[in-house]
């Protein structure tokens, strides 16, 4: 059977060797003749998994001293509530930049708990660009940004110099490019893009910013409790953490974040050059803000959509349909997607244009 080229936006493609190791662990983990899914999360074998996953995060992202790394449940969406619970004071304000659906949801959830202010938004043009040139009030409790916008295909290329706590949702581009963790006070990311399967969320938080709000924080929403309990306050998502550990091991074997960034940039250059060159297709976001992870585009002639979809299916190209709120097409090119899959898509687009010229 020929290869399926998986451009799914999430849950997304994982390295084949990771899937094979994870499959083996489901039936016989660590030669215990027990499944990973049925052993105690407090066993020596699983505690070693959690410790290794956290260690790899710190190594690959060069996390400095004074920061804690934890794995949690609830997806990135729970972080929309945890962030203000831990950082938004009773009389303070959380400030946000609205660059898409997930930022909008974060703003909504924070607004339930306290005062929020939207400093800048690209909603006026359906989130097809990244706002720039906004001022950050020095008396805010924190600034929340979203590094990559999966649905619309925009990405922050530079992060703001921030006089207050900087919080970033990196769910869809974590481990895809070099970052300076010390520029941020809190980073969170759902696993199901560049890290593992759905079910786990990774948080990196600067310890000194915690414990400063007046409110009582429910235990499950208190970062300090999860840090103290080493991500084991409740039963963790064992399978998602294990596969994340395997994926991070794979990333390290590829040369780490710096090496994979070069591959990701090559993949993005390949697809965007075809979008710009091909008369049948058109990009839908500002060129300077195009995402390396999610390339969004449309057909100039919508009447060709059925024909193009059939060509994609024949070429075993999967997951290219755009989000329902945007339409068109979205090529998600996470770390595990080989450049050969991007080339296969480019070849199909090129041949389709020749056929319909």
Residues carrying an active site annotation: 102, 169, 193
The rounded distance, in Å, linking the Cα atoms of 100 and 188 is 17
Q: Tally helices (H) and strands (E) across the chain.
A: 9, 14
Token pair in block for residue 340? 């050969």
Question: In this structure, are residues 13 and 336 in contact, taking their beta carbons and an 8 Å threshold?
Answer: yes
Question: In this structure, are residues 235 and 41 in contact, taking their beta carbons and an 8 Å threshold?
Answer: yes
Which regions of the chain does DSSP assign to beta strands (E)?
5-6, 67-72, 93-98, 115-121, 142-146, 148-149, 154-155, 165-169, 186-190, 201-206, 281-283, 294-299, 317-318, 329-332
**Which candidate, 318, 305, 317, places its Cα nearest to that of 356?**
305
């Amino acid at each position: 059977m020929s290869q399926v080229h998986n451009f799914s936006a999430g849950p997304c493609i994982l390295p084949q060797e990771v899937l094979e190791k994870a499959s083996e662990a489901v039936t016989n983990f660590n030669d215990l003749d027990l499944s990973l899914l049925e052993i105690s999360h407090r066993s020596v074998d699983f505690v070693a998994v959690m410790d290794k996953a956290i260690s790899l995060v710190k190594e690959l992202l060069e996390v400095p001293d004074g920061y804690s790394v934890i794995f949690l449940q609830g997806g990135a969406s729970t972080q929309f509530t945890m962030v203000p619970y831990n950082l938004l004071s009773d009389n303070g304000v959380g400030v946000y930049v609205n660059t898409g659906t997930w930022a909008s949801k974060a703003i909504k959830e924070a607004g339930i708990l306290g005062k929020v202010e939207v400093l800048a938004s690209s909603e006026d043009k359906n989130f097809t660009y990244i706002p720039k040139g906004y001022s950050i009030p020095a008396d805010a409790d924190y600034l929340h940004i979203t590094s990559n916008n999966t649905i619309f295909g925009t990405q922050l290329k530079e992060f703001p110099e921030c006089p207050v706590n900087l919080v970033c949702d990196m769910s869809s581009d974590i481990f895809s490019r070099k970052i300076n963790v010390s520029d941020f006070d809190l980073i969170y990311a759902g696993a199901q893009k560049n890290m593992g399967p759905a079910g786990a969320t990774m948080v990196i938080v600067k310890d000194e910013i915690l414990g400063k709000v007046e409110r009582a924080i429910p235990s499950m929403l208190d970062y300090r409790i999860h840090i103290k309990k080493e991500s084991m306050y409740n039963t963790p998502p064992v399978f998602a953490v294990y596969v994340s550990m395997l994926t991070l091991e794979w990333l390290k074997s590829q040369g780490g974040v710096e090496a994979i960034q070069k591959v990701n940039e090559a993949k993005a250059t390949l697809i965007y050059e075809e979008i710009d060159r091909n008369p049948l297709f058109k990009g839908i976001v500002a060129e300077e803000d195009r995402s390396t992870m999610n390339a969004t585009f449309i057909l100039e002639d919508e009447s060709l959509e059925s024909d193009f979809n059939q060509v994609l299916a024949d070429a075993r190209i999967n997951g290219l349909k755009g989000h329902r709120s945007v339409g068109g097409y979205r090529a998600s090119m996470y770390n595990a997607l080989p450049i050969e899959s991007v080339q296969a898509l480019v070849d199909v687009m090129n041949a389709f244009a020749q056929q319909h010229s």
